[in-house]
Every structure is written in structure tokens, then in C-alpha cells.
Structure 1
Amino acid sequence: MTETALTKMKDRPSNGVMKRLTILGLCAVCLAQTACVNVTAPDKPIVINLNISVTQEVVYRLDGQAKNLIQSQPGIF
């Protein structure tokens, strides 16, 4: 080989460097094409109407002797 051919081969980047540069170039193209998303707050406040009905039912049973005691002595409680 001639001396100029050898110096040209020495000046060329290696295969691994070329792969890295290609990947970086592709990444730059992909990043340049991404969409921009804007998030803004609404002008009016958000209103949530919660119509909740809460009912509670208490069921109690008294023993027969306790029932008779309460009826016979109403001032016990």
C-alpha cells in the first residue's frame, strides 16, 4: 500500500465509533419529532356534588326478664 492510503485508513474512525454516532444521530432525530403536551388549569373551579343519604337503623332486643323489670320499674334508668 502507498503511504497516502495508510494515512487515510488511520484517519478513519473505527467501526464502533461509527455505530455510536449513527445511534446518537437517530436518537436526536427521534427527540426532535416528539410532540409537546401542554397542561393548563381550568378557568372555573371544579364542582363535585355529592348527594349522600346516611340512615342508621338500631335494632335492639331485650331479654324477657329485663323487659319485665323495665316495665315494672320505669324509673330504673
Structure 2
Amino acid sequence: MNWKAASSAAILCGSIYLTGCSPSVRLEAPDKPIEINMNVKIEHEIRLKVEKDVDELLTSQKGLF
């Protein structure tokens, strides 16, 4: 066997070996749906304090605002 034939055979065997080890990428949907648990507690509190004089002024003069 001459040197060129041996190197050609080695290259051929090496390329077959490397193609067998190539990684594969697969895109698949999951079997179960994705579940997101969000436990959020929102508290909203508005406080309005009006003194008696201001409250009387607002009720007596309707066109003020």
C-alpha cells in the first residue's frame, strides 16, 4: 500500500467517525404546559382627611372648584 492510499483511507475513516459524533439539536414542545405561580397581594388604601371648616366651605360653595 502506498502512502497516498493510506492517507486517503485514514481521512475517509476519520470523516466517517467525526460525522457519527456530531451533536444534534431538537426543538420539541414540552409534554406538560408551563405553569407560572404568582402569589401577589396588592393592598390599596386611600386616606382623605378634611378638617371641618374646609368640609363646610366645600359643601356651602358649590362653584368653588
Greater per-residue helix proportion: 1
Asked which structure has the greater RCO (Cα within 8 Å, sep 6+), the reply is: 2
TM-score per shorter chain, which class? 0.3 to 0.5
